[in-house]
Structure 1
Amino acid sequence: MADSDTPTPKYKRVMLKISGEALMGDQGFGLHPPTVERIAQEVKSVHDLGVEICMVIGGGNVFRGLQGSAQGMERTTADYMGMLATVMNALAMQSALEGLGVFTRVISAITMNEVAEPYIRRRAVRHLEKKRVCIFAGGTGNPYFTTDTAAALRANEMACEAIFMGKNGVDGIYDKDPKQHADAKRYDKVTYDEVLQKNLKVMDASAIALARDNNLPIIVFSLDEPGGFRGILSGQGTSTTVHGS
């Protein structure tokens, strides 16, 4: 039995989207194991509330397709390399979560049976019902689509009730970069259309449109605050919600 101090989560099944850079810590690239462990602790704290959790992790800490393309690499090849980077990050997070006693499955859009399950929607739903964390790797399996779009796609397929965007250094959506502008103002709530019209840097346009078309709320919060994910899920702390009009 949960004690009276245990917060009641607002959602039963959620998608957590984090960038690959979130796993770097203070390093300029790669994985920082203590940071991976800290984020895994955040996920576990929410899992302990009985919430079913999907995850998508970017690959920018290892390789970013757009940057590779900008340097002369053929775009589809660069994007596939970025997808492989997300698998590496997913395996690292799986290892950290299972070290904390949280059963986890890495489910890849690119077939690699030795290290991850192939994506089969009904099987993934069953994992969630069995309270396993599902980490969706390999993006959508297609070039020209970002991991933001993969998160929105899988969240809809898994019938998630919201997408939680864990950010580094910011606790929501601002009208301009708060790191560069002291007068930047944070939105408490903003509509999908406003995000697109004002070009607010939340997710790419395809992901926002997919969330809007399926009325899937997006909650943007800071990953830096210990207990932040659990608090935001329970309606506490600072965040921005993207919603319908």
Structure 2
Amino acid sequence: MENPKPKYRRVLLKLSGEAFAGGKEYGIDPAFLEYISMEIKSVWELGVQTAIVIGGGNIFRGVEGESMGIERAVGDYMGMLATVINALALQSALEKVANVPTRVLSALEIRQVAEPYIRRRAIRHLEKGRVVIFAAGTGNPFFSTDTAGALRALEIEAELYIKATKVDGIYTDDPYKNPEAQFIEEITYLEVINRGIRVMDHTAMTLCKDNKLPIMVINIYKPNNLKRAVLGEKVGSLIKGG
């Protein structure tokens, strides 16, 4: 049986560092690594060129450093290094568990463990069928990994930015706190900004809006959601237009 035809040729997946911790408060959960590797493989097998940006919150958050007396810029660089650790862990799992060729490109130069980020090289890896993991955010302090995801998605000309979360998409309120919260299937960038819906930070959302990059918010913990998203099925919430 032939694989179904994906709607998107090239996508960028944004994973949070917290997801890597699994049920733990800190570190990397091997079970999640195995699960997410197979989810990514299901998309890769469709021939979809897949890039990934990972947060580092399971190891260190730059904003938390200030409470320890660490200045914000230094804390952000520490957070970037945390994303490199997550990227290397995911690369190892993708290659060993899922048998998917993978490259890590880092915005901070760490040649012993990752290639330096070069836009044309990243695109070439994707064209050759390799999953590309972008590490170290944008390489600059004061920018979130959500913004790094938007920036890299635009640089590689991705057709969709997939924001992985632990809920089914966007709601009128926090569904964990308010059972009356209503699910929003489709919404415009401006509505998200004006209503203060916390999908991603303002800089990332504005980048996507200005460049008309659609964002799909999905529950990554539901098996096959990632595959369904790239096939164009109705899954999660879609942000576009306006």
TM-score (norm 1): 0.96
Distance 2:144 2:52 in 1: 14
Aligned to 1:102: 100
Equivalence for 1:132: 130
Structure 1 runs not aligned, ≥5 long: none
Tell me the SS of whatever aligns to 1:124.
helix
195, 199, 202: which is aligned to 1:202?
199
Moved over 3 A (4+): none
Q: Measure, in 1, the Cα distance between the counterparts of 2:39 and 2:31.
A: 13
Distance 2:119 2:54 in 1: 18
Amino acid corresponding to residue 225 of structure 2 in structure 1? G
Displacement after TM superposition at 1:178 (Å): 0.3
CA distance in 2, matches of 1:237, 1:35: 24
Distance (whole Å) between structure 1 residues aligned to residue 57 and residue 163 of structure 2 = 16
Letter in 2 for 1:9: P
Contact 2:8 2:232 in 1 (8 A): no
What amino acid does structure 2 have at the position aligned with 1:77? Answer: V
Aligned match of 2:227: 230
Partner of 1:49: 46
The 1-side partners of 2:207 and 2:215 are apart by 11
Give 1:72 shift.
2.9
User: Which amino acid in the other structure matches residue 142 of structure 1?
Assistant: N
1:28 matched residue in structure 2 = 25
**CA-CA distance at 1:16 after TM superposition:** 0.3
Question: Which residue of the other structure, out of 11, 16, 32, is the alignment partner of 2:13?
Answer: 16
The 1:195–1:82 alpha-carbon spacing in structure 2 relative to 1, beyond 3 Å, is same
Distance of 2:62 and 2:92 partners within structure 1 = 25
How far did residue 28 of structure 1 move?
A: 0.9
Question: Does the 8 Å CA contact 1:228/1:237 hold for their aligned counterparts?
Answer: no
Separation (CA, whole Å) in 2 of partners of 1:102 and 1:131: 9
**For residue 164 of structure 2, what is the aligned residue in structure 1?**
166
Aligned-residue identity in percent: 51
Match of 2:111 in 1: 113
Rounded Cα–Cα distance in structure 1 between residues aligned with 2:68 and 2:238: 36
Report the Cα distance in structure 1 between the residues aligned to 2:189 and 2:212, rounded to whole angstroms.
9
Residue 47 of structure 1 and its aligned partner are, at CA, apart by 0.2
1:115: how far off? 0.2
- Consecutive unaligned residues of structure 2, counting only runs of 5 or more, are none
Structure 2 distance, partners of 1:85, 1:139, is 10
Matched length:
241
Cα distance in 2 between the residues matched to 1:56 and 1:238: 21
The separation in 1 between residues aligned to 2:67 and 2:187, in whole angstroms, is: 32
The residue that corresponds to 1:240 in the other structure is 237
C-alpha distance 24-174 of structure 1, shift in aligned 2 (>3 A): same
Two-structure CA RMSD over aligned residues (Å): 1.0
- Measured after TM superposition, the shift of residue 231 of structure 1 is 1.4
User: 1:182 matched to which residue of 2?
Assistant: 179
Instruction: Give 3-state SS (helix, strand or coil) of 1:232's partner.
Output: helix
CA distance in structure 2 between the partners assigned to 1:8 and 1:202 by the alignment: 29
AA in 2 matched with 1:31: I
Residues in 1 aligned to 2:6 and 2:66: alpha-carbon distance in whole angstroms: 41
Counterpart amino acid of residue 77 in structure 2: Y
Q: How far apart are residue 177 of structure 1 and its match? A: 0.3
Corresponding position: 1:220 with 2:217: yes
Residue 122 of structure 1 aligns with which residue? 120
Given residue 76 of structure 2, which amino acid in structure 1 is its aligned partner? D
